[in-house]
């Protein structure tokens, strides 16, 4: 593991740093590729043609803008704050991930890279990236832990149907962290021809900034929709936090609005014991994992701890570096919901609103269910519903013991 060099003056903004967090802790062979990516991304960002092409695809292909939906029955049942749902679950492929995959896919095309690689946990980022590669005519290889392939078989089939090659990873815990390792190994070897589409606001600079920028559209829309519907800003925005991409997308435009509470929800898993959850801010400490300096679940020797969550998308030992800064400065609050609370929230939202949320998103719903009753009726809560739950039906059937007969 690289030694951690902390900038001498953390209050001075440096590219790729969020306070002391972030940075670029990678093998030397990747430094040139990351610099090239950073420069090309900066150019694309300033290029009106690139932005117009991305906007067109977000609108006509992915289905933006997504609705800001007033959850009337849930609000009335809880008897407190007014609850809105930002419906990222309605996007093409079923989650917010497509915002980022479209952005990076266009960037790869602009850079003349024909071969795309990606990692995936639950398979949502893999499906989104395989979809974008089909759309843009790019070759696609997705690394996925064998344990995740077993848990999310449907998404493996979807990726293969879309023309992607899915490569099983049998090292370590055979989950997301191992898939990222394998994707990075591929990238080191094939860096000249290959673009790595990273799926969350993680990894070495420029990924955390770039992925956040591609998801900013969530809070931009949210703000405009709230001002139109309510004429004011919300009391709080709630989002689940795996690597942190849907949360940073939902928070970003509200960071300057100091009266808006930003609440991130981590996976509480089975218990508070190390290895049984993915609460980086409660059980973790600053360290380096996979290219970036952030909070990490680790033992005293700095070995990465194993994690658990009923939702594969939140089951990761580190968290995006911008969240580490928002945590330390107190601008955002981080809490957790355990497996049972998430499962309960899936059932509750399904039966009160007719909306089946992803198990990841259900962690944010659980927090709204927890805090809404003690809030005033004029207060507004916005839950970022990051994805839909169809992918989780196998797990839900097992966990909730839903069988062929009625529950």
Rounded CA separation 175/121 (Å) = 6
Cα 291 to Cα 54, 198, 217, 346: the distances in Å are 27, 12, 26, 34
Residue 352 φ then ψ, to 5°: -95, -25
For ligand PLP, which residue of 104, 245, 307, 336 counts as binding (CB under 6 A)?
245
387 touches ligand PLP (CB under 6 A)? yes
If the CB atoms of residues 16 and 313 are measured against ligand PLP, the closer one turns out to be 313
For ligand PLP, which residue of 95, 107, 198, 204 counts as binding (CB under 6 A)?
95
Give the per-residue contact string, 104-123, with ligand PLP (x = CB under 6 A; - = no): ------------------x-
Q: Are 362 and 343 in contact (CB under 8 A)?
A: yes
> Site size for ligand PLP, by CB under 6 A?
21
Would you call 360 a catalytic residue per the annotation? Answer: no
For ligand PLP, which residue of 113, 236, 361, 371 counts as binding (CB under 6 A)?
361
Catalytic residue among 40, 119, 322, 367: 119
Would you call 8 a catalytic residue per the annotation? Answer: no
- Binding window for ligand PLP (CB under 6 A); candidates: 17-25, 228-236, 291-299, 353-361: 353-361
If the CB atoms of residues 148 and 276 are measured against ligand PLP, the closer one turns out to be 148
> DSSP readout, 49-107?
HHHHHHHHHIIIII-PSPPEEE-HHHHHHHTSSEEEEEEGGGSTTSBTHHHHHHHHHHH
Kind and range of the H or E element at 166?
strand 165-169
Rounded CA separation 78/80 (Å) = 6
Q: Least Å distance between CB 332 and ligand PLP?
A: 13
The residue with its CB nearest to ligand PLP is 387
For ligand PLP, which residue of 103, 243, 268, 321 counts as binding (CB under 6 A)?
243
If the CB atoms of residues 133 and 247 are measured against ligand PLP, the closer one turns out to be 247
Q: Least Å distance between CB 88 and ligand PLP?
A: 8
What contacts 24+ positions apart, CB below 8 Å, involve 284-289?
Answer: 284/317, 284/318, 284/319, 286/20, 286/21, 286/324, 287/4, 287/318, 288/1, 288/2, 288/4, 288/25, 289/177, 289/317, 289/318
Q: Least Å distance between CB 154 and ligand PLP?
A: 14
Give the per-residue contact string, 27-66, with ligand PLP (x = CB under 6 A; - = no): ----------------------------------------
Would you call 386 a catalytic residue per the annotation? Answer: yes
Rounded CA separation 60/65 (Å) = 10
Rounded CA separation 18/236 (Å) = 23
Which positions are catalytic?
97, 119, 386
Which residues form the interface with ligand PLP (CB under 6 A)? 95, 97, 122, 124-125, 200, 240-247, 313-314, 358, 360-361, 386-387
């Amino acid at each position: 593991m690289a030694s951690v060099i902390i900038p001498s003056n953390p209050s001075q903004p440096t590219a790729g740093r969020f306070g002391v967090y972030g940075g670029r802790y990678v093998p030397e062979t990747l430094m040139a590729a990351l610099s090239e990516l950073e420069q090309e991304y900066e150019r694309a960002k300033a290029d009106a043609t690139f932005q117009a092409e991305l906007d067109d695809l977000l609108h006509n292909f992915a289905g933006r803008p997504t609705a800001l939906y007033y959850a009337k029955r849930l609000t009335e049942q809880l008897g407190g704050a007014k609850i809105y749902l930002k419906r990222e679950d309605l996007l093409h492929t079923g989650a917010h991930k497509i915002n980022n995959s479209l952005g990076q896919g266009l960037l790869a095309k602009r850079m003349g890279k024909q071969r795309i690689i990606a990692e995936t946990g639950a398979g949502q980022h893999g499906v989104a990236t395989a979809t974008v590669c089909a759309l843009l005519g790019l070759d696609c290889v997705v690394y996925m832990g064998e344990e995740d392939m077993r848990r999310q078989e449907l998404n493996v089939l979807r990726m293969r149907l879309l023309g992607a090659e899915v490569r099983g990873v049998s090292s370590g815990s055979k989950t997301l962290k191992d898939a990222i390792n394998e994707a990075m190994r591929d990238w080191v070897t094939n860096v000249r021809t290959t673009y790595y589409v990273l799926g969350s606001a993680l990894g070495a600079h420029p990924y955390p900034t770039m992925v956040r920028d591609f998801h900013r559209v969530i809070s931009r829309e949210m703000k405009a929709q709230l001002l139109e519907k309510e004429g004011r800003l919300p009391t709080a925005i709630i989002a689940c936090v795996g690597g942190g991409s849907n949360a940073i997308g939902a928070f970003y435009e509200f960071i300057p609005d100091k009266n808006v509470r930003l609440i991130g929800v981590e996976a509480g898993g089975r218990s508070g014991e190390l290895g049984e959850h993915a609460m980086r801010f409660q059980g973790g400490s600053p360290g380096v994992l996979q290219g970036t300096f952030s909070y990490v679940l680790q033992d005293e020797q700095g070995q990465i701890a194993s994690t658990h969550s009923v939702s594969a998308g939140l089951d990761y030992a580190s968290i995006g570096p911008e969240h580490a800064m928002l945590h330390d400065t107190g601008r955002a609050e981080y809490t957790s919901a355990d497996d049972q609370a998430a499962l309960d929230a899936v059932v509750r939202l399904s039966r009160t609103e007719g909306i089946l949320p992803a198990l990841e998103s259900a962690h944010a719903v659980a927090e709204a269910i927890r805090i809404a009753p003690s809030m005033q009726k004029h207060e507004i809560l916005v839950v970022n519903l990051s994805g839909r739950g169809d992918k989780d039906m196998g797990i839900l059937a097992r966990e909730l013991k839903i069988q062929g007969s009625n529950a």
